[in-house]
Amino acid sequence: MLGLRDILAAQRKLGGLITRTPLEYSFLLSQRAGCEVYLKLENWQKTGSFKVRGAINKVASLTEEEKARGLVTASAGNHALGVAYAARALGNVPTTLFVPVNAPASKLKKLEEFECNVVLSGNSYDEAHHAAEDFERVHRATYVHAYDDPLTMAGQGTVGLEVMEDLPQAEAILVPVGGGGLIAGVAVAAKAINPHVQVIGVQPEASPAAYLSLRDGRPYEKYDAAPTIADGLAGGFGRLPFEIAGHLIDEIVLVSEEEVRAAVFALLELAQLVVEGAGAVGIAALLTGKVDLAGRKVVAVLTGANIDASLLFEIMVEQLRQHGGKK
């Protein structure tokens, strides 16, 4: 259902519509973590998130008739931005976006840039998804799934392709996991190039659907997540990512809210990078020793930058107080 050839085809489709983000070595994070830490800067991607890759590949693969019916999707924020960007870049395709009412203000503000119909619906991704499915049935719109679609996964897989092109000797890749589109694509690409590279998923303890799916051998497609600042990772783990890449994922580890907040601050302090909670979970796993990667070449995918300024300020004040204000 998804192979390296599909991801290479996606890379060609993305062309100049995305940023080929850098892979940067971090000396200070490496010292803290006890391994060689490389950062895949998807927080510098168009719209501030990797999600645009899968959205463009999906929309670019649609027929003219499918586009003429209009697009619809549900998202915690970043996928909505990706679909809105893709719709504009590929011909101003009419688009309706269902987003939870509690989506981060930073993501909602960015959506104002695009000529899309934004509908605030429900208190979670799953509730917004149900509303979007109803819209799809009534209006015969074309659904652009955030993760449970091979074309979306192939687009996300270009992240892994770029990592392996830039650092062929990578020994482990830490990937934030929500619905699973990114880790499925990265695992397929990376393992096809080097079967020995470890692909390790990281989730917040508040939403461990992928961890439970791999543990129990079945996908938890719905999951009622607890509150988390890693909002982009909340909810279930997709059936297709589970079927396609469940056997390719070496491990899923869980990190607490406190550990995610500390990682957001560490990236700001040590690497001068603004990264949202969902994008910082890999660094949280490294800095807390949740993964044993001492002395190895490790890539952490920083999946997005769309954090509310108020939350970032709150984390900065909190972390500075915890460290006695000696920063």
Are residues 204 and 255 in contact, defined by beta-carbon separation less than 8 angstroms? yes
Residue-level pLDDT at 325 = 55
Structure tokens at 229: 């600042």
pTM of the model: 0.95
**What proportion of the chain, given as a percentage, has pLDDT over 70?**
99
Residue-level pLDDT at 65 = 97
Query: pLDDT tens digits, residue range 61-112?
Result: 999 999 999 999 999 899 999 999 999 999 999 999 999 998 889 999 999 9
Gap between the Cα atoms of 235 and 44, Å rounded: 25
DSSP E strand boundaries for 113-241: 117-120, 142-143, 172-176, 198-204
Residue-level pLDDT at 124 = 87
Burial 229-239 (b: 16+ CB within 10 A, else e): bbbbbbbbbbe
Domains of the chain: 4-49+156-322 (3.40.50.1100), 51-143 (3.40.50.1100)
Query: pLDDT tens digits, residue range 179-195?
Result: 999 999 999 999 999 99
Beta bridge partners of 96: 72, 117
Nearest-10 crossing angle of helices 51-60, 150-166: 130
